[in-house]
Structure 1
Amino acid sequence: MTGMCLKDWLQTHLFDPLEITDVSWDKHGDVNTGAWGLLIAPRDLTKLGLLYLHKGVYNGIRILTEEWVTEHHTPTFPQTCRDVPDGAATMDIKFGRTVRGAIVLMEHLASIVWYFRKWIWLLQLLLKKRMEAEFSL
């Protein structure tokens, strides 16, 4: 529809306004995979979290409409379905919380949940190692 690959469109409309410059994304032929293969620094990944936290605004610039952010934070599942087990796939694109309390982006493909769970795990591991190094001096 836009004539741009997914990564290029996101670079222009999302990553550039968030000051994210070092992003790569796997391709299958000329098409970005979409469901996996996004490589982004943890610091830049937190900018996406800040964007949601501030309802689509980053550094005083509106990047996402507040309605879009609200819609994607509004539960569409019955109460009994919102607390999903770790690794479970869902049929909607929303943020959710696993039974262990990790916040994940839920998608109809389990790979998205798996991907963000691995990022959360990696960030926790890096923070733990950094704290161990700082306190062992």
Structure 2
Amino acid sequence: MLAISNLIVFVGGIVGVALILDLHKIYLSMSDFHFYLVLAVFQDSLLLAFVDLPLMVLFAKIIPEHIEGTVFAFLTGTINFSSNSLSPMVGSIINDNTVQITLSNMTSHNFVYLAWAESILSLTPLLYMSLIPLKSQVRTLQDQ
């Protein structure tokens, strides 16, 4: 599931590059609004299905009784903080330390670098997938 969610974000980033470069107008004859609407609906729906819901199902299975509300409130708050506050701050730090795009020098030519950075950096969690133990490894440790 984690790999699928990272690939969804990667493909969404590449489609974002297509939006910046106006490729949707050339190949699909779609306006910016309609193209972004389709992108947002599909990407948000897929991310909800492959990221948020499996995480909540996992938490529902492992949370002890009588504290579900507290843990789910914390989980929801953490997800919202991560996507709505932490991600933009990290993106701003990356921009400030690399391409340094500001309002005065923002064009589609240099803004596309940030979209490429988003796409490529969305694949970095795949490097850490090997750190997650397999079911067989967990069972072996539990049996010891």
State TM-score, norm by structure 1.
Answer: 0.23
Larger relative contact order (C-alpha < 8 A, sep ≥ 6)?
Answer: 2
Would you tell me which structure has more strand in proportion to its own residues? 1
State TM-score, norm by structure 2.
Answer: 0.23
Q: Which is greater in Rg?
A: 2
